[in-house]
Structure 1
Amino acid sequence: MGSTSRPLLSLLCLALLFYSAISELCNPQDKKVLLKIKQAFNNPYILTSWNPNTDCCDWYCVTCDSTSHRINSLTVFAGNLSGQIPPEVGDLPFLTNLEFHKLSNVTGHIQPAIVKLTHLNFLRLSWLNLTGPIPDFVSKLKNLTFIDFAFNQLSGSIPPSLSELPKLGGLHLDRNKLSGPIPSSFGNFPQGLYLFLSHNQLTGSIPSSFAHMDFGYIDLSRNKLVGDASVVFGSNKTIQIVDLSRNLLKFNLSKVVLPKSLTSLDLNHNMIYGGLPVELTTLNLQYLNVSYNRLCGQIPVGGKLQSFDYSNYFHNRCLCGSPLPSCK
């Protein structure tokens, strides 16, 4: 190689190094934090792409904002992660999405450092093995539109302060070990909320404040709730799906005013009495189950009521008519 070509080669190498340095979009501080998170999880295979020599905006499980190039999403799904969610997640100040999902070896409590993520609007910590209570600090994340803590081992009572989240559209606390009553403050949520509290150990009655609340979807099934559930319904509401099955609810169904928007109603395994409202024939029902209650009288004829299986009506005190045996 000639004497003049060696300096040119050196200059070319320096130029390439300089170009690679300035072409990296990832914020250096964000990169440092992500590498600490990887280390806290003992360098798992799912985070193999988190290589300090590459641009972290190209790493698996993260995305960068197209303008600021700050990390705005951390989504870890169905990998071999184990251990506790490290406090460093709170050191990604521009996160809008945080998700750890289907990672059964992730343990510990809900990480307190999450309270620093003031831009967060989507928070999913589901299908993990989290224990302890749902902390009050969640209510300080005022930009949240969606919370999913389902399929964990969370216990204790539900904090009433969650209703202070002004933008919340979905709340999934189902399949945990939560106990105590449903907070009456839950009647103050934004209208149209999708609320999932099923498969817990909740007790007491459905809050009377729900009379003023118009949910989009409500699932309170498989708890130990008692009393009247008519507050969930109402002629002016636009709720579509109601599941109150497998509780200890006791009220007169014939006096309930059903919203015209209702497409699915599951009341099975309660102590509900009275008869089936004639208004059921006017609804565009895709699903109905009132089995294992104390209902009486003839099943109204019309709409879709005769299209459901007899098992959706059976084990009632004296309910009769198609698809059950005819009334005598």
Structure 2
Amino acid sequence: MTVSSLLFFLVFFFLVVFLNGQCLDDQKKLLLELKSSSSPLSLMSWNATHDCCEWAGVKCDDSGHVIVLDLFKDDICGRISDSSTLFNLTYLSQRLHHNGQIEDSPIANNSTLLFLDLSSIRIEGHVPNFFFQFRSMIILELSTNFFSAVFELDRIPSLANLSEIILSNNNLSVDTSTASPTSYGYPRIYTFQMSSCNLYDFPDLRNLSLSELDLSNNYIGGDIPSWIWEMELVSLNLSLNLLTDFQKPYHISYSINTIDLHSNRLRCELPLLSEAFEFGYAYLFLANSSLTGAIPTSICIRSRRLLDLSFNNLTGSIP
């Protein structure tokens, strides 16, 4: 090996081993500010003299920008006093976990946060406004917390790249009055979950190209709107509500695989619904819905994997 080749190899080795993924000073500063403001014992290992890309719960890209911050295992309970420190890691592009209460703070306009997963970690208070300033966000998951106060659906369209929003199992009071079909003029959201969110009305989502819609365990009454069946859903869960009928006319899409309407107040004869459900929907749940009449043979098709008609007022024989 020539001297020039050896020098090239040594320089390349140095760049790969010692510089690749080395934490940048501004990234380290933000993380140390986070540590100082929240003071969890589990972050005591974050040492300013060490490469922050090697710290527990931190991952960096090849340039030294923090892209993953997993604080879920670090048990950060209570209030983070300066949320802007946490969310101004502008290259953060994978899942971020936090356990505590988050205050509203302005964020950097160039944040590239793609996934925000704060599910099942006991966060209280209102859903911060600055969550809806992450213009690049694809997935927003805030389920199974103690978020409260009024949540206005017209905040969602500001996230033009959003494909999944999951707000289920919170103490929210959802305001659907400000939402209109024109408010949801982008076609990107495919998963919309607001189970157990104190909903009393259907949010108008007719302009979305949804694949999965879950509005179960709320207080929604009246008819199931016909526009729901026009969205080419794959999965629909409206169970545990106060629904009484189907808005007519309705034509259920062939694309749907799972329909869950159990524990409602449909109170109609099952034969009247048989035409709607005679196609190959694999999973059909109609239990505890006050259905009456005989079970039509058209509802029992070979491609169906699960059919639940229990706890109704059906008569006659089983086909």
In structure 2, the CA distance between the partners of 1:71 and 1:180, relative to structure 1 (3 Å rule), is closer
Q: Does 1:57 align with 2:50?
A: no
Residue in structure 2 matched with residue 142 of structure 1 by the alignment: 135
Letter in 2 for 1:78: K
CA distance in 1, matches of 2:228, 2:317: 25
- Please tell me whether the aligned partners of residues 168 and 189 of structure 1 are also in contact (alpha carbons under 8 angstroms): no
Residue in structure 2 matched with residue 158 of structure 1 by the alignment: 151
Residue in structure 2 matched with residue 15 of structure 1 by the alignment: none
Write the deviation string for residues 164-199 of structure 1: whole angstroms up to 9, x where unpaired.
311111101111001144353474453452011011
For structure 2, the 5+ residue unaligned runs are 1-16
CA distance in 2, matches of 1:184, 1:265: 25
CA distance in 1, matches of 2:265, 2:73: 40
Task: Map 1:18-33; keep pairs closer than 5 Å.
Answer: 25-33=22-30
Residue in structure 2 matched with residue 303 of structure 1 by the alignment: 301
Residue in structure 1 matched with residue 264 of structure 2 by the alignment: 270
Q: Does 1:316 align with 2:312?
A: yes
CA distance in 1, matches of 2:21, 2:288: 63
How far apart are 1:72 and its partner, in Å? 2.1
How far apart are 1:163 and its partner, in Å? 2.3
Letter in 2 for 1:151: T
Query: 3-state DSSP class of the match of 2:151?
Result: coil
Letter in 1 for 2:54: D
CA distance in 2, matches of 1:297, 1:197: 33
- Please tell me whether the aligned partners of residues 267 and 292 of structure 2 are also in contact (alpha carbons under 8 angstroms): yes
Residue in structure 2 matched with residue 220 of structure 1 by the alignment: 215
- Please tell me whether the aligned partners of residues 281 and 303 of structure 2 are also in contact (alpha carbons under 8 angstroms): no
Residue in structure 1 matched with residue 114 of structure 2 by the alignment: 121
**Alignment partner of 2:251 out of 215, 239, 257:** 257
- Please tell me whether the aligned partners of residues 194 and 216 of structure 2 are also in contact (alpha carbons under 8 angstroms): yes
Write the deviation string for residues 192-251 of structure 1: whole angstroms up to 9, x where unpaired.
520110112121x214x333333111111111112222345335x321111111111122
Count, aligned residues: 292
- Please tell me whether the aligned partners of residues 104 and 129 of structure 2 are also in contact (alpha carbons under 8 angstroms): no
**Stretch deviating more after TM superposition (82-91 or 152-161):** 82-91
In structure 2, the CA distance between the partners of 1:232 and 1:80, relative to structure 1 (3 Å rule), is same
- Please tell me whether the aligned partners of residues 92 and 117 of structure 1 are also in contact (alpha carbons under 8 angstroms): no
* Largest Rg, 1 or 2: 1
So what's the TM-score if we normalise by structure 1?
0.77
So what's the TM-score if we normalise by structure 2?
0.79
- Please tell me whether the aligned partners of residues 201 and 223 of structure 1 are also in contact (alpha carbons under 8 angstroms): yes
Write the deviation string for residues 57-107 of structure 1: whole angstroms up to 9, x where unpaired.
2222122222x3211221222333222234321332322235115x4xx2x
In structure 2, the CA distance between the partners of 1:138 and 1:35, relative to structure 1 (3 Å rule), is closer
For structure 1, the 5+ residue unaligned runs are 1-19, 324-328
Query: 3-state DSSP class of the match of 1:112?
Result: coil
CA distance in 2, matches of 1:131, 1:43: 18
How far apart are 1:123 and its partner, in Å? 1.1
Query: 3-state DSSP class of the match of 2:278?
Result: helix
CA RMSD of aligned residues (A): 2.9
- Please tell me whether the aligned partners of residues 258 and 279 of structure 1 are also in contact (alpha carbons under 8 angstroms): yes
Identity of aligned residues (%): 24
Residue in structure 2 matched with residue 195 of structure 1 by the alignment: 192
Letter in 2 for 1:234: W
**Stretch deviating more after TM superposition (47-56 or 263-272):** 47-56
Write the deviation string for residues 99-139 of structure 1: whole angstroms up to 9, x where unpaired.
115x4xx2x24542456563211112221222222233333
**Stretch deviating more after TM superposition (25-34 or 75-84):** 75-84
- Please tell me whether the aligned partners of residues 234 and 259 of structure 1 are also in contact (alpha carbons under 8 angstroms): yes
**Alignment partner of 1:73 out of 68, 73, 82:** 68
CA distance in 1, matches of 2:21, 2:306: 60
